[in-house]
Amino acid sequence: MAIQQKVILYLISDSVGETAFNLAQAAMAQFPDIKPIYCRFPFVHTQEKLMRVLEQAKSDHAIVLHTLATEGLSEIIANYAEQNGLVQIDYIGPLISEVAHRTGLKQSHEAGAVHHLNEKYFDRISAMEFAVMYDDGKDPKGFLEADVVLLGVSRTSKTPLSLFLANRNIKVANLPLVPQAHIPDELWKVDPKKIIGLTNDPTVLNNIRRERMIAYGLNPDTTYSNMDQIREELEYANKLYKKLGCMVINVAHRSIEETATIIMEALNLEDYDYKTSK
């Protein structure tokens, strides 16, 4: 069978369409040799608009993925696909049907219900703003208000981790560590249990820093990526962690998600998505 390099995915939603897009990306990540074409159609609320999209999908021989809650629209896609030889995948319909069957309840048919602007939503936005405000030690006062304080030398994933945790409703401040630099007095007032020291393997950190410089179009062989300098920075950081008595995590070969999970479990912090379901 010949390999088809071109795959067109039509993502149809009656809301913003992030769910369909994220699921499609997760699936296509299993095929690194293919560069899929994502065609996104958000806020499809009417039969007329839906039919125009389906006709276009048929013309493109696309795979149709949808997360439609508006009553009747998913059935229209199913019927059209059957009659026109179009492949369609309903991401949420089967689950909704099963839950309705088990509980005897009817679905609300409300598009975008997952994005309700409730109290927890605004708490999460507040946590994101907190992470940006207190990123890179901009204001040490944030250490005293944070749920978590991240410490680490350059390129140990402090900012990405801060934002990832903030998206789970956790207030995070972080501080870059540089030998001989002043350590804010506020840091010593923070409960050591709330402080996480991030470290890395020298070789891994060297590669990350070199790639960073190359990405900027700069010479990768500088003091910033020098192995002796990196070892000095890591040794300085580890001595500080020992003085603080904080938890230390080596982020080498760990994803942001994995490190965040370790932090949340260690500090007994609940995941935002879990809290909203309680």
Structure pTM? 0.62
The domains found in the chain, sorted by start residue, are 8-115 (3.40.50), 119-277 (3.40.50)
Q: Quick one: how far is CA 99 from the chain centroid?
A: 28
If residue 52 lies in a helix (H) or strand (E), which one and from where to where?
helix 47-60
204 and 173 Cβ atoms separated by less than 8 Å = no
Q: Which residues contact 44 (CB under 8 A, 6 or more apart)?
A: 12, 13, 14, 50, 53, 68, 73
Q: State the Cα torsion 239-245-250-251 to the nearest 10°.
A: -110
- By the 10 Å C-beta count (0-12 exposed, 13-18 middle, 19+ buried), 9 is classed as buried
Q: Please report, for residues 50, 134, 146, the alpha-carbon distance to residue 152 in angstroms, rounded to integers and kept in the order given.
A: 50, 15, 16
Give pLDDT tens digits along the chain (278 positions).
455 668 999 999 988 788 888 899 999 999 988 889 999 998 898 999 999 999 999 999 999 999 998 889 999 999 999 999 999 999 988 988 899 889 998 887 666 555 555 567 778 889 999 999 999 999 999 999 999 999 999 999 999 999 999 988 999 999 999 998 999 999 999 999 999 999 999 999 999 999 989 988 999 999 999 999 999 999 999 999 999 999 999 999 999 999 999 999 999 886 544 343 33
